Structure 1
Amino acid sequence: MDVTSYWLAMASAGETLCMLRLNSKGLPAKGDPSLILTFEKKPSESERL
C-alpha cells in the first residue's frame, strides 16, 4: 500500500490524518526541509480530493 492509499483509507475511516505537504517536485522526500507534517481531524478529506 502506498502512502496516498494509506491516508485515503484513514480519511474514509474518519481518523486523524497526517497530511503531507509535498515539496516542489510533488513528491515527499525523506529529509527534505520542505516536507511539513500537519495533524488534523479531516473526516471528509476524501471529499476534498
Structure 2
Amino acid sequence: MKVVQACKADLKQYCQGVQPGGGRIAACLQANRANLKPTCQATLAEVLPK
C-alpha cells in the first residue's frame, strides 16, 4: 500500500500499537497528520479526505 511505504517511519513513531483493520491506522495517521513527514502528508492527501 502506497501510504504504508510513504509513512513507514511515521507509522512506527505514532501508530505502533494500533491494530490494523477497521480504519484504525488511517484514523491514527489522521489524528497525527500535523506531525507527519511531508512525504507522508502528501500521500495521505491523495488517498484520504481532509
The TM-score range, normalised by the shorter chain, is: under 0.3
Normalised by the length of structure 1, the TM-score is 0.23
Normalised by the length of structure 2, the TM-score is 0.23
Q: Which of the two has higher C-alpha Rg?
A: 1
Higher strand share: 1
